[in-house]
Chains A and B, each alone.
Chain A
């Protein structure tokens, strides 16, 4: 059995983002000046990389730490340990001002487009805002760029002067996408970006994301709980369970030859849209996800992986 840790993730020349041994913990039940009662181990020793133009999906159930990873990359939450390298430069722990130029290349889309948009800002201004902040173009050329972005994401000129509440859910997500791509970023973090949309809208937004990837060479970190969507959209997949990445590999490796017990369980639970493939009643006993809450001094062992195929790593410990 070959054991591999974070350093075994090989660099093949076009690595855009690299995360090394990232851990994020939150104190719980802290009295003023007192000691915490426990700690949520939200992310434990997570390592992965994303190549330019590639989609890595981060999948798992509620509380597995997938969104926390997204937030740590953006600097929205402070990791306890580990580092994040973007285009070879360390970006974890950067201050706001030093983070700003990085943000041009590292953008985000969230699940709730309505909450992401300023309700008092018209669509045109919302899409132009990143250009203003980063002082890109001005006057007429800026509005032309806004118009081009709207075209690109499938919004009409008529939407330019509308407010977010006057748009449908799908249109609002298109506005968020236009904002995210306004600065020609290299990586977009999409956190449950299509989860709240109706199926027909969802498939259109996914198609849009795939088109943009092809045209702009975008890489995505696609955070999702929806295995079927992930199968459509990703090149590589990382499965998370209780803060750990328990399996990572190419989409085909993870979906067609899942090696971790939890990955198999997750895939097995997805309802198959075929009445002939109806499952017998097998999930009757109640099984809950264990809590990531640990006593204050708890130190889990570092993640260890077995490489079951080239690039296909499976955790051999830590799923406790």
Chain B
């Protein structure tokens, strides 16, 4: 694997066994991410984005998924490469949360309601780094300050329900980044947030990524968000990566009809300027 590469996925296929037979959720997916780079994984509901994300550390196996083929290679901060498919559980456990961290759409389901924010960040620190309690608290505080939560000291002793949605997502980011992961997987992290809060969280992720030279896999269905954060884009449809190109190419010269139809259907702010009445979307020919 190339020196700069943090993640390389080759021919990944994931099956789910259901009552009505086997469903292939991901089919021969292949992509890579370099250090400091953001790859956006886009597609509509059910296209296999989240399954792909959870497969990277084999967490999908706890959700009933089976990785039937493929090769997943990670590079940790120390430079070691990890072959995910052949790693024993013990290794995977230390990879999850340390080398690869996740943040999800709904921070409320990821945070434990009966522990304070400080305890939860402390737990995340304790899992991967051995530190005396005073150090842990100091690091937790530093992380909250890094995600720009005001009055961080006071927030350490508050419970998740006492925080707003935007603050909870910041706390989640603090937890995810306390072990300086090589790869951050952000699965629709701003989808449930209001636009003004979304803008803040997107900027925060971009800033911390730069500071930590972190690779980011950013999963979203929002092409506006893609244009704001991505270096490269992988478009998924029905479990397949149909196109993977630089963000400029995807927006200016998409090769696939499906990518074009996705782009055609986004409402673009400002596209209506000069027109007095409402206007229909151009309907593309591509099958949905």
Residues of A participating in the B interface, judged by any CB pair closer than 8 Å = 55, 61-62, 169, 198-204, 206-207, 210-211, 213, 225-229, 231-235, 250-252, 255-256, 265-279, 281-289
Cross-chain pairs A/B with CB under 8 angstroms, 20 sampled: A198-B44, A198-B45, A198-B221, A200-B262, A200-B265, A203-B264, A203-B265, A203-B281, A206-B280, A233-B278, A250-B276, A270-B269, A271-B227, A271-B228, A275-B230, A278-B227, A279-B228, A283-B200, A285-B200, A286-B200
**Size of B's binding interface in residues, CB under 8 A:** 57
Contacts of A272 in B (CB 8 A): 224, 227-228, 268-270
Does residue B277 face the partner (Cβ distance < 8 Å to A)? yes
| B148 contacts A285, C-beta separation under 8 Å | yes
Contacts of B182 in A (CB 8 A): none
5 closest cross-chain pairs (CB), A and B: A271-B224, A228-B267, A203-B265, A203-B281, A61-B194
Report the bound CA distance from A287 to B194 in whole Å. Answer: 12
Contacts of B228 in A (CB 8 A): 271-272, 275, 278-279
Chain A, Cβ-Cβ closest to B288: A200
Report the bound CA distance from A277 to B227 in whole Å. Answer: 8
Report the bound CA distance from A287 to B263 in whole Å. Answer: 31
Report the bound CA distance from A202 to B206 in whole Å. Answer: 29
Most buried by B among A202, A233, A275, A281: A275
Report the bound CA distance from A232 to B200 in whole Å. Answer: 25
Contacting residue for B278 out of A210, A266, A276, A289, CB 8 A: A210
Chain B, Cβ-Cβ closest to A169: B45
Does residue B60 face the partner (Cβ distance < 8 Å to A)? no
Report the bound CA distance from A234 to B264 in whole Å. Answer: 19
| A55 contacts B278, C-beta separation under 8 Å | yes
Contacts of A198 in B (CB 8 A): 44-45, 221
Most buried by A among B198, B265, B267: B267
Contacts of B224 in A (CB 8 A): 228, 270-273
Enumerate B243-288 residues with CB–CB distance to A below 8 Å. 247-248, 251, 261-281, 283, 288
Does residue B170 face the partner (Cβ distance < 8 Å to A)? yes
| B150 contacts A207, C-beta separation under 8 Å | no
| B247 contacts A275, C-beta separation under 8 Å | yes
Report the bound CA distance from A279 to B196 in whole Å. Answer: 14
Report the bound CA distance from A267 to B283 in whole Å. Answer: 26
Contacts of A287 in B (CB 8 A): 196, 200
Report the bound CA distance from A231 to B224 in whole Å. Answer: 15
| B203 contacts A273, C-beta separation under 8 Å | no
| B283 contacts A265, C-beta separation under 8 Å | no
Contacts of B277 in A (CB 8 A): 235
Contacting residue for B44 out of A200, A265, A270, CB 8 A: A200
Contacting residue for A273 out of B198, B223, B248, CB 8 A: B223
Contacts of A200 in B (CB 8 A): 44, 261-262, 265, 288
| B261 contacts A281, C-beta separation under 8 Å | no
B1 CB → nearest A CB, Å: 27
Does residue B222 face the partner (Cβ distance < 8 Å to A)? yes
| B207 contacts A284, C-beta separation under 8 Å | yes
Contacts of B223 in A (CB 8 A): 199, 273
Given contacts A198-B45, A252-B276, contact A273 B226 (CB under 8 A): yes
| B283 contacts A203, C-beta separation under 8 Å | yes
| B170 contacts A284, C-beta separation under 8 Å | no
| B265 contacts A199, C-beta separation under 8 Å | yes
Enumerate B162-205 residues with CB–CB distance to A below 8 Å. 164-167, 170, 194-200, 202-204
Report the bound CA distance from A270 to B269 in whole Å. Answer: 8
| A199 contacts B44, C-beta separation under 8 Å | yes
Report the bound CA distance from A318 to B178 in whole Å. Answer: 42
Report the bound CA distance from A55 to B277 in whole Å. Answer: 10
Chain A, Cβ-Cβ closest to B207: A281
Report the bound CA distance from A211 to B273 in whole Å. Answer: 21
Report the bound CA distance from A279 to B224 in whole Å. Answer: 12
| A202 contacts B265, C-beta separation under 8 Å | yes
| B44 contacts A231, C-beta separation under 8 Å | no
Does residue B149 face the partner (Cβ distance < 8 Å to A)? yes
Contacts of A267 in B (CB 8 A): 269
| B267 contacts A226, C-beta separation under 8 Å | yes
Given contacts A61-B194, A269-B196, contact A204 B279 (CB under 8 A): no
Most buried by A among B164, B248, B270: B270
B148 CB → nearest A CB, Å: 5
Report the bound CA distance from A90 to B226 in whole Å. Answer: 47
Other contacts beyond A203-B267, A266-B196, A273-B251: 18, CB < 8 A: A199-B262, A200-B44, A210-B278, A225-B195, A226-B267, A228-B266, A231-B267, A231-B269, A231-B271, A233-B278, A255-B270, A272-B224, A273-B223, A273-B227, A275-B227, A278-B228, A279-B199, A283-B200
